Amino acid sequence: MPELPEVETIRRGLVPLIGTTIESVEIRRSDVINGLIGSRHSHQKGLLAGTAIVGLHRHGKQLAIEGKLGRVVLVQLGMSGQLLVEQIGAAMTAHSHVVWNLADGRRLTFRDPRRFGGITLHDSLKSLREAWANLGPDALEITEAQLRKACTGTRRSIKAVLLDQNAIAGVGNIYADESLFRSGVRPTRRAHRLNERQFLQLADAIREVLNAGVEGGGSTLRDYVGVDGRSGSAQESHRVYGRGGLPCVQCGGALRKTVVTQRTTVYCPGCQP
DNA sequence: CGTGGCCCCTGTGGGC
DNA sequence: TGCCCACAGGGGCCAC
């Protein structure tokens, strides 16, 4: 479900939970949690039972819930993941895998029908930082220099690099196509062959489309729902994503739909030479 | 070692 | 109207 703007919107939606104590945690499907070892008691502890939420962090599309003592629950939403704030006692929807019962009578629910997402436990902020250091720089603030570095020494296409979270963290399929269109770069272009101007324009475009998505409340996805379970209101109009065969907004020519790196890709043959 | 290909899984929307 | 299947925001792992 989420691209970076949705994850950031969810993070902001959860900020009001800071200071709230987690009373207990229900693991309804343990296989969504990576590296569960040890006792039931340690699982509860690792999932922050009995402690307060003290911070909410994001890097790329990953979201971290920080508890007291530096323990961290790292959530990856994958394609269909959701974090929902609900009232304790409300009907539990299908595919609700982990539930944090809060002291204020509400609960935080991790739902993920397709289960491409998951949860990883870290016992310290240091451990989280190390994991995030292995990812590329955050796409929301990507600089031209960082982008150029990610594209150096590889023979892959620029789209493959954009989608590689270890190269740049946070660009998904929609924003890869949107940023490539806005910078006039064909998705299949070898990454190392972009010129100076293209690196600059692409870095600018990535920041712009992601920031626009955040401003729009992360409502750029068809079945995205926020922490309140409602979908976003201001649907951003994508210029190429989902518009294969339709006229290009710049030149009027037909947008071409292909597959690059196993992902549906739409671009304008005229504007992205 | 870098890279492309395959697969994981469920829900849904569009075509027939 | 209803059924079926192609396809979907991601990313880990495996052979080359």
Q: How far is CA A60 from the centre of its chain?
A: 6
Distance from C-alpha of A202 to C-alpha of A24, rounded to nearest angstrom = 45
Is A3 annotated in the active site?
A: yes
Name which residue leads in pLDDT, A81 or A224. A81
Residue with tokens 């379970």: A229
Known active-site residue A263: yes
Scanning the structure block, which residue is given the tokens 């104590």? A21
Is A40 catalytic? The answer is no
A185-216, pLDDT tens digit by residue? 999 999 999 999 999 999 999 999 999 999 98
The reply to whether A172 has its C-beta less than 7 Å from any atom of strand C is yes
List pLDDT tens digits, range A136-145.
999 999 999 9
* Interatomic distance A69 CA / B12 C1' (Å): 43
Q: Categorize the per-residue pLDDT at A236 as very low, low, confident or very high, splitting at 50, 70 and 90.
A: low
Give start and end residues of each alpha helix (H) in A15-151: 40-46, 125-133, 144-151
pLDDT of residue A235: 53
Q: How confident is the model at residue A234 (pLDDT cuts 50, 70, 90)?
A: very low
Share of chain A above pLDDT 90, in %: 87
Q: Is pLDDT of A231 > 90?
A: no
Structure tokens at A194: 């972009």
Tell me the nt nearest to A244, Cα to C1': C7
Higher-confidence residue of A45 and A163: namely: A163
Integer Cα distance of A107 and A100 in angstroms: 5
A24 CA to C11 C1', in Å? 30
Can you tell me the mean pLDDT for A101-125? Answer: 97
A188 Cβ contacts chain B strand, under 7 Å: no
**How many angstroms separate the CA of A110 from the C1' of B8?**
19
Distance A171 CA to B3 C1' (A): 19
The token duo for A79 is 């394609």
Burial of residue A136 (number of CB atoms within 10 Å: 0-12, 13-18, 19+): buried
* pLDDT tens readout for residues A19-28: 999 999 999 9
- A181 three-class SS: helix
Q: Which nucleotide is nearest to A115 (CA to C1')?
A: B9
Quote the pLDDT of residue A232: 56
Each residue's pLDDT tens digit, A242-270:
999 999 999 999 999 999 999 999 999 99
Catalytic residue among A12, A115, A190, A263: A263
